[in-house]
Amino acid sequence: MIKPGPIVLCLAALLCGCGGAQTQPAETGLRDLKPSERPGLRTQLIETMVDAKAYDSAVPLLRQALREQPKSARLHYLLATVLRERGRLEQAESEFGVALTLSPKLGLAHTGLGMTLNLLGRHADATASHRRAVALTARSGRVHNNLGFSLYLQGNFADAEAAYESAIRADPQLRIAYVNLGFALAAQDKIKAARRAFSQVLTPAEVTNNLAVAKELRGDDASARNLYKAALVLDPGLKDAITNLSAISAPEKTEEER
């Protein structure tokens, strides 16, 4: 069983969100275009800003574009993505729903909704959305990876393993899929296979730290502590191992101290 605690595995870079740089939109380029050409380029510009996490610059353009194109599924998807990355999860869920009402086969919106539902803790619903995304965009490694993570969060480690393997077949350069595969394997006590998966993209010290995390998640604190120490022998400056060892070694607070 996975032990609840301070360690929370991340949904990869796709779920990491923060405010972006103040990028200025290329308004001159838009004005130089014919009116019929402007919406497409503006949407591309907004997509570039959202990908760069330049949300403060993207939002005004998004709002303006949606006033002119209220039935654009792509624009509703982009707005939903910004809302999710800023932590406004219920609003993001609603916007993804609008995008999918307008374009039920927009695979990106299905996976975006799935990621939002994972953040809301509704993992079964999220998995259903991720499966729809896979059916529509089977060649995307990230979509398979997101399905795997949703399955992992439900304790379905064997199916998560299969999804991560599919992610790697679709995109052999997708580093996070190897890491997530390692955790899925370790959760099934396939330690040698987990080490091989981690080793594809991590240093020996990072591999050892992740194996320690896997042990801690399973409630084996003694083994985890030893592995964190071993990771620090390999790399004394490895911040994750320093932090994790400190956390696991700290005395547990009493009810009065809490």
The tens digit of pLDDT for each residue in 10-56 reads 433 333 322 222 222 223 333 333 334 345 788 888 889 988 989 99
Burial of 253 (0-12, 13-18, 19+ CB in 10 A): exposed
pLDDT above 90: percentage of residues in the chain: 75
Residues in the chain, total: 258
- For the chain, 258 residues long, give each residue's pLDDT as a single digit of tens: 444 333 334 433 333 322 222 222 223 333 333 334 345 788 888 889 988 989 998 999 999 999 999 999 999 999 999 999 999 999 999 999 999 999 999 999 999 999 999 999 999 999 999 999 999 999 999 999 999 999 999 999 999 999 999 999 999 999 999 999 999 999 999 999 999 999 999 999 999 999 999 999 999 999 999 999 999 999 999 999 999 999 998 765 444 544
- 8 Å CB contact between 61 and 26: no
The tens digit of pLDDT for each residue in 161-183 reads 999 999 999 999 999 999 999 99
Domains of the chain from N-terminus onward: 25-109 (1.25.40.10)
- CB-hemisphere CA count at 13 Å for 241? 25
- Alpha-helical runs (H) found in the chain: 27-31, 38-51, 55-68, 73-85, 89-102, 107-119, 123-136, 141-153, 157-170, 175-187, 191-199, 204-217, 221-234, 239-249
Q: How far apart are the first and last CA of the chain?
A: 26
- 8 Å CB contact between 40 and 6: no
Measure the CA–CA gap between 230 and 212, rounded to whole angstroms: 9
Helix (H, G, I), strand (E, B) or coil at 245: helix
Residues 210, 120, 173: CA angle, nearest 5 degrees: 40
Measure the CA–CA gap between 207 and 224, rounded to whole angstroms: 13
Long-range contacts, stretch 39-43, CB < 8 angstroms, 24+ apart: 39/65, 39/68, 39/69, 39/72, 43/72, 43/74, 43/75, 43/78
Q: For position 41, what pLDDT does the model report?
A: 81
